[in-house]
Structure 1
């Protein structure tokens, strides 16, 4: 339980485009690639697309989690309340959980598959997660995130995530505000996968 604070950036597909050297220079050690399969569900009694919430089951390298994310809060980085609960990692549980959710009325809406390399950093008494993602059908991304236990810490956590992204050489013009789920849904609907740049107000 807590608040997830995250910035996501679109990067090139080659290793030279990834901030690996910058991560290592700050003391981060990238783990091996792991496979993620995220199955997203809608609520039987309210529309998460309207409320801004998200609920998923993740299978990650043999580990299973259920994750709820609340509506986005204000600020300079994507900030949401998050609850994550692990459950049995055997194949039978991986197969049974989606069936149970559907029996309870949850509606499967999309699946996101990606390969992730992740590093953890400890800077200025705060822990960060750096994720290098290749997402099936979408491309390559870098996520920079931290967590806050209390609402009073959100502004400082947002500032810290932005500062770390700059230290990693990630450019504001490559910022991707959409979730992987939204990008997958938009791609399925025939909308462009690349988020258009903001238009300058000419009024």
Structure 2
């Protein structure tokens, strides 16, 4: 079975509207803004913060999925194996899965909420997924550019993402996840108390 990898770069941005306009002018199509509620868990016998893995329950409206993200294997871009499985709709289903994970020894880490507008752009034969994210707790806007790639295509995917990013005036990628940014912010707030 061939592994598919998620190759992505994330950037802090100041003006999401102008970036969206640039992308639409290049033919990107946009979805409506949706709220993502991600609940992250840590493994009972290994620290995902150390292994750079992730296990989350994501809710978008009534739709739910559970996602495992393998350790990052990329250099500049965040490249990792990802498995995502949908499950029953609604908050009762997420509550039951949270309870099951807890009974299995998984520890709840933190919830991350973001507002996301996803744009799809086909350019140079590549199908990019570009997300404009507002993370209210961070008071910051971000742009994520993602491609899915097979094992032998990871380097080309990273190159294509960098090319698109630079064409939008983006040069400095943010390597930390929203979860890590929030945990660092929380830790800094606790230390300042």
- Same structural fold, with TM-score higher than 0.5 when normalized by the shorter chain: yes
Q: Do the aligned partners of 1:119 and 1:130 also contact (CA within 8 Å) in 2?
A: yes
Correspondence 1:8-23 to 2 at 5 A: 8-12=10-14, 15-16=16-17, 18-23=18-23
2:132–2:142 contact (8 Å) kept in structure 1 = yes
SS in 2 for 1:59: strand
Distance 1:15 1:52, change over 3 A: closer
Encode CA deviations 1:108-133: one digit per residue, 9 max, x unaligned.
01110010011111222221111000
Aligned to 2:146: 145
Matched with 2:4 is 2
**How far apart are the structure 2 equivalents of 1:21 and 1:74?**
30
Q: Secondary structure of the residue that 2:29 maps to in structure 1?
A: coil
What's the counterpart of residue 184 of structure 2?
A: 186
Give the number of aligned pairs.
186
Q: What whole-Å deviation, never above 9, does each CA across 1:134-183 have from its counterpart, x for those lacking one?
A: 012111111111111x21110001001111112223x213x211110100
**Where does structure 1 lack aligned partners over 5 or more consecutive residues?**
192-203
- Residue in 1 that maps onto 2:160: 160
Q: Structure 2: any 5+ residue segments left out of the alignment? A: none
Match of 1:85 in 2: 85
| C-alpha distance in structure 1 between counterparts of 2:178 and 2:91, whole Å | 25
Q: 1:121 is paired with a residue of what secondary structure?
A: strand
C-alpha separation between the residues in 1 aligned to 2:57 and 2:4?
18
TM-score by length of 2: 0.91
Name the CA distance, whole Å, in 1 between partners of 2:62 and 2:162: 32
Find the residue that maps to 1:189 and give its secondary structure.
helix
Q: CA RMSD in A?
A: 1.5
SS in 2 for 1:27: coil
> Normalising by the residue count of structure 1, what TM-score does the alignment of the two structures yield?
0.86
Structure 1 residue matching 2:30: 3-state secondary structure: coil
| SS of alignment partner, residue 172 of structure 1 | coil
Partner Cα distance (1:5, 1:164) in 2: 13
